[in-house]
A and B are shown apart, each in its own frame.
Chain A
Amino acid sequence: MERIFTKILGIVLILVMVLSMVACGSSTTPDSVSTSTLAAATTTDSTTTPVEQPVTLKIYAQYSDEDTKAPYDYAIAAMKKDMPNVTLELDILAQDDNAKLKTYAATGNLPDVFQSGGDIINTLKASNNILMLDDQAPTADFKSKMQPSAMNTLMNSDGHIWAYPYAGNELVLLYYNKDLFTQFGVKVPTTVDELIQAAKTFNSKNITPLSIFSKEKWVGVSLFDCLATRMEPTGIRKLDTNQGKASDEAFTWAAQKFAELAKAGLFQKGATNTNNDQAESLFLTGKAAMFLNGQWEIATATEKMGDKVDWMAFPGKDAANYEEAKNNFSGGGGPGGYSVSPNSKNKDMAVKVAAYISFKYAECKYTTRGTPIVATKVNAPMVEAFPPMMEKLAKVIPDIKSFGSFDWNLTNAKFKVAIEDATQKLVTGGYTADEFVKDMDKAIVNANAE
């Protein structure tokens, strides 16, 4: 009887596998992310123009949500026309705070073209794993196309160019669902204490107050930076550059409020293991009242929620502080974009591709994703008008005097890792402000020790 059971089980399993294999076979282009631009284009052109050598380049890029997929696909589609001899093999960027990229560098496996920014540039620079672009062929042209206000994203603090930027000075926004706030009679908070009250109200109605994808550690860092910038306009940048301590008033207050918010149940359950997809869908489907993300979320949020969604200025310490600090934003740009490995076998082509893709990214974001916050000037016609949230933001942008910092623009690798871990712990609610301050002060000393 047992034999029969095992055999039947086996047969069933084989059947299912055969079925699934058939399913596999029927999808002819299963690897949709690697793009072969070769076949179609060269056959027709080969008679008139000299055929360029086909080149395959490896590229390491974000490709996880609409905001990162759309520009990549857009750039690839454009490349098909402009550089038909180039095939890109995409290695999707792991949301692991560059651990994978550093491993690639340490093992000599760097892709030809890769996304870089912040401390990774310094790290790779020190080990000759990133190509200096100052005198590369496309650089002069690229420089001339830069938006003047975004030059900080091109030039590194050492005066050199290591990456072709596409993003401008992006920033963190606190999105909220207007309908949910009206429905439950919650006032849009202007102080952190009101935010705590709002959290309590939403929790009692079984609505997640704020959904956060803290599996990506930068989000926790950004929330902390939002709080810190209430009283210290340069936010965590001050700590990164060793000009301040976590025990300074602005940061201690930020840590205390962060811990209180977590305790009050501001975040959804399991927030530190929630990824972008999951947190975003909580907000978009009306299960969460607020959502923290960069301004790049505007396009998706508007598309899915229409006029139900808006962003608010971050709540302050009190009413006076709210007014005073409402144009302090977390975020900002830094040198970063697409870089090239100096060990690439097709270095020149890789440089050309890096510049080209960055430019196309900006074009795509500007014309189809409703964001004017890009690195280069865009001449292409608009496909989508700017959504209202962006119009509102555009009015504020000229008044922004300084930014805090995105996690990926931090320059001290040890400090960056430490604040990522510490803020992720704050999100869990099982970590006190005192512990945070103590650990961070120790980490800052350690990070700057010689």
Chain B
Amino acid sequence: MNRISKNRVAVCIFTLPALLVFTVVVIYPISTTFYRSFFKWDGIGEAEFIFIKNFKNLLQDDIFYTSLKNGLVFAAVLVVLQIGIGTILALAVSDNSLKGKKVLRTAYFIPVVLSITVVCQLWLQMYDADNGLINKIFEKIGISYRQNWLTDKSTAILAIAVVNAWQYMGYHFTLLYAAIKSIPEHFYEAARIDGATRIKAHLHITLPLILETYKFCLTFAVAGGLNAYANMLIMTNGGPGTDTYTLTFMSFRAAFQTNEFGYGCAVAVVLVIESLLATLVINRLVARERITY
């Protein structure tokens, strides 16, 4: 038996396609990105090695700080809205006596399966200053809170983040719901004896038991925020001005618009480091040990 499972030819046949594709399409380009971040290069002509000058320039660049800030704001909105609302809904739907559970779950998830282009176009219409649904609703209930949602620099990034939060809330909801459902009944027996209220029971029993899922949701939401690109590309194209730029946006602009390919790579490198840092921090903050039932 051992001989067969050690079959070297078979190991090669099984693993080489995957290793090859992954190396060529993912690892090689990302090494290029790192390598090129030390060059002054327009992407096509001669490259000049300038070591960390790109990174130094980055620290002087106002757009870098705007982009960095927007990534963090985006991530924060996603965490609060997706995980916050997702938690409340998941806890409420997990009540066995609730009617219409399946309908609710289905409804929450539908936005997830839509194309991002549709979602962004739809929200562009909803945010329309004159005819959009949102301002119309404010108008109907008589609140004079009409806004230029996407063209005011203080609301634009939030407005875009809300769109992403809306689309993927159902995803987080489904994850949290599945996690809650997998907790065995007997964990709540003690609470029943205590006569604790349901909110208390959830706070003390449910939430600690699904920390692993929270870890994933957090990672997913934060990564989604830091890497946001398509939403602003479709909805504001980074505008007004550079007010809704993110690091991805900035790196593409440098590489494809101002012919600073090396600079764009430097931005991308910062993005990789930032994402890895975020993952690390989340893993540290949220308890590591898996709880077994």
> What CA separation (Å) do A316 and B172 show in the bound complex?
57
User: Smallest CB-CB separation from B260: which chain A residue?
Assistant: A414
User: Smallest CB-CB separation from A98: which chain B residue?
Assistant: B257
> What CA separation (Å) do A417 and B239 show in the bound complex?
12
The residue that B258 contacts in the complex, of A268, A273, A417, with Cβ under 8 A, is: A417
> Considering the complex, which residues of chain A in the window 217-236 have a beta carbon less than 8 Å from any beta carbon of chain B?
217
How many inter-chain contacts with C-beta < 8 Å in the A-B complex?
101
User: Smallest CB-CB separation from B43: which chain A residue?
Assistant: A106
A102 touches B152 (CB 8 A): no
B150 touches A273 (CB 8 A): yes
> What CA separation (Å) do A413 and B129 show in the bound complex?
32
Collect the chain A residues with CB atoms within 8 Å of residue B44's CB.
106, 126-129
B259 touches A427 (CB 8 A): no
Q: Which of B15-23, B81-89, B100-108, B277-285 touches A?
A: B100-108
Collect the chain A residues with CB atoms within 8 Å of residue B258's CB.
413-414, 417
CB of A95 to closest CB in B, whole Å: 9
Q: Is B209 at the interface (CB under 8 A from chain A)?
A: no
Collect the chain B residues with CB atoms within 8 Å of residue A106's CB.
43-44, 255-256, 261
> Considering the complex, which residues of chain B in the window 69-113 have a beta carbon less than 8 Å from any beta carbon of chain A?
100-103, 106
The residue that A428 contacts in the complex, of B101, B153, B252, B259, with Cβ under 8 A, is: B153
B257 touches A270 (CB 8 A): no
Instruction: Indicate whether A421 sits within 8 Å of B242 (C-beta atoms), given known contacts A106-B44, A127-B45, A439-B62.
Output: yes
The residue that A99 contacts in the complex, of B100, B235, B236, B256, with Cβ under 8 A, is: B256
A270 touches B103 (CB 8 A): no
Collect the chain A residues with CB atoms within 8 Å of residue B148's CB.
269-270, 428
> What CA separation (Å) do A272 and B150 show in the bound complex?
8
Collect the chain A residues with CB atoms within 8 Å of residue B261's CB.
106
Q: Is A96 at the interface (CB under 8 A from chain B)?
A: yes
CB of A276 to closest CB in B, whole Å: 14
The residue that B240 contacts in the complex, of A413, A414, A417, A428, with Cβ under 8 A, is: A428
CB of B96 to closest CB in A, whole Å: 14
How many residues of chain B have a CB within 8 Å of chain A? 39
> What CA separation (Å) do A123 and B258 show in the bound complex?
9
Q: Is A424 at the interface (CB under 8 A from chain B)?
A: yes
A270 touches B151 (CB 8 A): yes
> What CA separation (Å) do A284 and B266 show in the bound complex?
47
A2 touches B103 (CB 8 A): yes
User: Smallest CB-CB separation from B40: which chain A residue?
Assistant: A450
Q: Is A3 at the interface (CB under 8 A from chain B)?
A: yes
User: Smallest CB-CB separation from A450: which chain B residue?
Assistant: B40
CB of A439 to closest CB in B, whole Å: 7
Q: Is B128 at the interface (CB under 8 A from chain A)?
A: yes
B101 touches A2 (CB 8 A): yes
Q: Is A238 at the interface (CB under 8 A from chain B)?
A: no
> Considering the complex, which residues of chain A in the window 372-427 have a beta carbon less than 8 Å from any beta carbon of chain B?
413-414, 417, 421-422, 424-425, 427
Collect the chain B residues with CB atoms within 8 Å of residue A425's CB.
153, 240-243
Collect the chain A residues with CB atoms within 8 Å of residue B243's CB.
425
Q: Is A144 at the interface (CB under 8 A from chain B)?
A: no
Collect the chain B residues with CB atoms within 8 Å of residue A428's CB.
148, 151-153, 240-241
Collect the chain B residues with CB atoms within 8 Å of residue A414's CB.
258
Instruction: Indicate whether A422 sits within 8 Å of B241 (C-beta atoms), given known contacts A106-B43, A126-B44, A417-B253.
Output: yes
> What CA separation (Å) do A421 and B237 show in the bound complex?
11
Collect the chain A residues with CB atoms within 8 Å of residue B106's CB.
6
> Considering the complex, which residues of chain A in the window 310-350 have a beta carbon less than 8 Å from any beta carbon of chain B?
none
Collect the chain B residues with CB atoms within 8 Å of residue A128's CB.
44
B236 touches A273 (CB 8 A): yes
Can you spell out 15 A-B residue pairs with CB atoms less than 8 angstroms apart? A3-B102, A98-B257, A103-B256, A269-B129, A270-B127, A272-B150, A273-B124, A273-B151, A273-B235, A273-B239, A417-B253, A424-B239, A425-B240, A430-B153, A430-B154
- For the A-B complex with A103-B256, A127-B45, A268-B130 known, give 6 more contacts whose Cβ atoms are closer than 8 Å: A126-B44, A127-B44, A272-B240, A417-B253, A421-B241, A430-B152
